[in-house]
Amino acid sequence: MKKTLWLAGLVTGITALTVSAGAGPLTPAPNAANLQLASVHAAVAPLQSSAPLYEKFADNPAPIASVTKLMTAMVVLDSGAPMDEWLQIVQRSDDPPKNAFSRMRIGSEARRSDLLRITLMSSENLASYVLAQNHPGGLDAFIAAMNAKAHALGMTQTRFVDPSGLWPENIASASDLVKMVEAAYAYPEIREMSTGSQHRVHFRGPRYSLDYGNTNALVHSSRWDVHLSKTGYLNEAGRCLVMVADVGGDPLVMVLLDSLGTRTPLGDAGRIRRWLETGNGGAVAGAALDYERSRIAALTAEASAQSH
């Protein structure tokens, strides 16, 4: 059922590659032929604009890995739970299909605000699980709230099955993620927590501290003004990046899904900015381009097989 939903989007939209002019100072967009991205799925839009500047397979649902955690953060904040409450770090009761290693000690405690911060900034998977477990009604109620929030935002090609993104069944289209990023941007806590460079969490019972950094190198760069950020990675999802950053003085939403290597989505972000500023995005490295072409070919073949 989960796999069928994903492939249904590919059958109907696998050839989609469009550029359209939207409202705002960044439009009209330059010639789409001058922008080549390594990411298989992409969407670029001025913040709070209904018209995208660029789309690439933007209506095809795909695994989104830890980009999931933006929705996790919104559900936590929507619950109104006290941010200074101490929560116990517990062993996962589920069985994630991917490595869920954490440096946090089982049985110790951390404040909800710290767990939310390292969920967003450092993509700490156990932190997001603990936050969900402490939601009224527990984990199942939290996941239901994630899907209800997605529905309310008009994210029609999205489904969540866990709060961390460790399951490849967490899927969304790039166009849906533009809606999610815009919604998350409305939360000052998410903007601030997701773009911090470093943070030290102080635990108790036993007392110890751990240092965390941001998984998006662009937040450290003087060349970028990033207002919201989230990275993600699974084998099935490739390297993913969503963010809001100033380009030409205007906030721009970038959604980049499924690329090769940790630096490839960062390179795509730079190509998007260069394309908007100069009209030409520049070249993609050969290995990243080979990956993109092979992923598209595999998705096309799988979608075709499912349609027969």
Q: Which residues have a catalytic role annotated?
A: 66, 69, 123
Question: Which is nearest to 170 in space by CA: 203, 195, 146?
Answer: 146
Tell me the C-alpha to C-alpha distance, in Å, between residue 226 and each of 60, 127, 261, 278.
26, 23, 21, 20
Place of tokens 């010639």: 31
Task: For residues 230 and 26, give the distance between their C-alpha atoms in angstroms, rounded to a whole number.
Answer: 23
Close Cβ partners of 134 (under 8 Å, ≥ 6 residues apart): 81, 87, 112
Task: For residues 208 and 87, give the distance between their C-alpha atoms in angstroms, rounded to a whole number.
Answer: 15
3-class SS of residue 132: helix
Find the helix packing angle between 286-306 and 2-13, rounded to 10°.
110
Contact assessment for residue 166 and residue 64, using Cβ atoms and an 8 Å cutoff: no
- Per DSSP, 105 falls in state P
Contact assessment for residue 195 and residue 215, using Cβ atoms and an 8 Å cutoff: no
212 CB-contact burial (10 Å; exposed 0-12 / middle 13-18 / buried 19+): buried
Task: For residues 72 and 290, give the distance between their C-alpha atoms in angstroms, rounded to a whole number.
Answer: 33
